[in-house]
Amino acid sequence: MGVLRILSGSAALTRSKMILKDRRSGIYSKPPKDKIGAGQSFLIMSVFAAAMLAPAAWILHHLPEYRQRPRPTPKA
């Protein structure tokens, strides 16, 4: 029983080291090759904001229609 605990512990440590190594490989310390201007940043942030807010706006706009729908009867 104790041998299995030791083996499983070392395997977990090895796996966690591999995960950390994979995460570190995606981090770059150099400056970007191409600079992004203020206009591009504004455009990207506007598209992102619209994509996040559009579904909520749709639901809020149609809320009176949703309230007028008859509720379905529960099936027993």
pTM: 0.46
The pLDDT, as a whole number, for residue 39 is: 95
Would you kindly state where each structural domain of the chain is located, as residue ranges?
Answer: 37-68
Q: Chunked in runs of 10, what are the mean pLDDT values of the chain (76 residues)?
A: 56 66 68 89 97 96 91 81
Angstrom distances, CA of residue 48 to CA of 18, 45, 54, 59: 34, 5, 10, 18
- The secondary element (H helix, E strand) that includes residue 75 is none
